[in-house]
């Protein structure tokens, strides 16, 4: 009980200290939307258009599993008209903050729009769901309506605009989904194996017919050991897998250990490139939008395994 009160007063203190940091939060008459990950922020931008000002908390290369809100983040959250986050415990260390703020603010977990029957529930998560829903484009498109509704509730005058933007974005995502299916078909069936540092691509594998394996578990908080490396090395060597992949938000040393182990076994496996998993790319990278990120990942995977 004492710990709970201490956390509450700490949050109040931080918000109070940030009271003077208002200049960058001047909304200029726009609906202010604060989002956690880049994927969620991009969703808000596409639907909100010119009527919203979107601020993302987690930039390129940031791992949401480990992320802790800064004093500046708390100031943004406090002044937001709408807070959007992924949900399904992706932003694990921010759950308490969202719970407290939900009493006074409109806060939406976009993953809540997806029926639980469509979610993956790996045994290692002990009753929880895999949060990496954006890797299945058709599944991610189901989050659009929840953002349209949330914005319309706050800004009724913009309801038609949000609906129009949402409809257009769903059509774009349907075309993107069809493109991914077409591209993956170029990979020989025996080589449709995606191996990365952590097991974030489960939805991608299910949607597009690719076997997925990760050195770490669903969350990067999980540790990996010698047995994990050895097991993956055995699998890659026996299947003669051509390439494995690093992730922009996970240290490269983990997957490099696997590559080195394969070399010692007499099998040369290349690093097929860097994939964007829990974060999008930086400005100008071509992966700084959700659509761009998906295309970049697919082109990297297909280019290395084809």
126, two tokens: 């002990």
Domain with CATH 3.40.50.1980 in the chain: 2-177, 182-305
Closest CA to 78 of 143, 173, 14: 14
Q: Which CATH architecture has domain 2-177?
A: 3-Layer(aba) Sandwich (3.40)
Of 20, 54, 65, 94, give the one whose Cα is nearest residue 279: 65
DSSP β-ladder status, 211-216 and 193-198: parallel
pLDDT of residue 13: 39
10-residue mean pLDDT series, the chain (306 residues): 42 40 55 98 98 97 91 96 97 92 95 97 88 98 98 97 98 98 96 89 97 73 72 93 89 86 95 94 96 98 96
Compute the C-alpha angle 63/69/73, nearest 5°.
115
Q: How far apart are CA 69 and CA 65, in angstroms?
A: 12
Q: Which residue has the tokens 């770490």?
A: 216
Q: According to the CATH classification, is domain 182-305 in 3.40.50.1980?
A: yes
Q: Is 97 helix (H, G, I), strand (E, B) or coil?
A: helix
In a 13 Å sphere around the CA of 212, the CA atoms on its Cβ side amount to 21
Please report the pLDDT score of residue 148 as a whole number: 98
Question: If you compute the radius of gyration of the chain from its CA atoms, what whole number of angstroms results?
Answer: 20
Question: How many Å separate Cα 263 from the centre of its chain?
Answer: 32
- Write b or e for each residue in 31-49: b if 16 or more Cβ atoms lie within 10 A of its Cβ, otherwise e: bbbbbbbbbbbbbbbbbbe
C-alpha torsion sign, points 104, 107, 112, 114: positive
| 3-state helix, strand and coil shares in percent for the chain, rounded to the nearest 5 | 55, 15, 30
């Amino acid at each position: 009980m004492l710990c709970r009160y201490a956390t509450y007063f700490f949050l109040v203190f931080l918000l109070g200290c940030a009271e003077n940091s208002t200049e960058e939060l001047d909304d200029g008459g726009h609906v202010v939307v604060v989002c956690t990950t880049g994927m969620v922020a991009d969703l808000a931008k596409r639907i909100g258009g010119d009527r919203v000002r979107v601020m993302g908390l987690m930039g390129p290369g940031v791992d949401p599993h480990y992320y802790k809100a800064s004093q500046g983040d708390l100031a943004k959250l406090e002044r937001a008209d709408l807070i959007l986050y992924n949900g399904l415990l992706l932003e694990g260390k921010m759950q308490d903050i969202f719970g407290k703020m939900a009493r006074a603010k409109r806060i939406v977990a976009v993953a809540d729009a997806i029926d639980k029957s469509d979610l993956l529930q790996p045994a290692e998560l002990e009753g929880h769901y895999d949060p990496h829903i954006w890797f299945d484009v058709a599944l991610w498109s189901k989050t659009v309506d929840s953002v349209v509704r949330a914005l319309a509730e706050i800004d009724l005058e913009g309801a038609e605009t949000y609906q129009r933007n949402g409809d257009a974005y769903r059509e774009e995502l349907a075309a993107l989904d069809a493109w991914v299916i077409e591209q993956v078909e170029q990979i020989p069936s025996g080589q449709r194996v995606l191996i990365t540092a952590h097991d974030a691509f489960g939805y991608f594998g299910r949607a597009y017919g690719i076997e997925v394996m990760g050195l770490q578990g669903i969350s990067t908080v999980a540790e990996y050991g010698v047995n994990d490396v050895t097991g993956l090395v055995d699998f890659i060597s026996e299947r003669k897998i051509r390439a494995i992949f690093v992730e922009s938000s996970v240290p490269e040393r983990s997957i490099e250990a696997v590559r080195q182990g394969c070399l010692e076994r007499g099998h040369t496996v290349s690093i097929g490139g860097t994939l964007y998993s829990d974060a999008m790319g930086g400005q100008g990278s071509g992966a700084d939008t959700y659509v761009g990120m998906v295309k970049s990942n697919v082109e990297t995977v297909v280019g290395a395994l084809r």
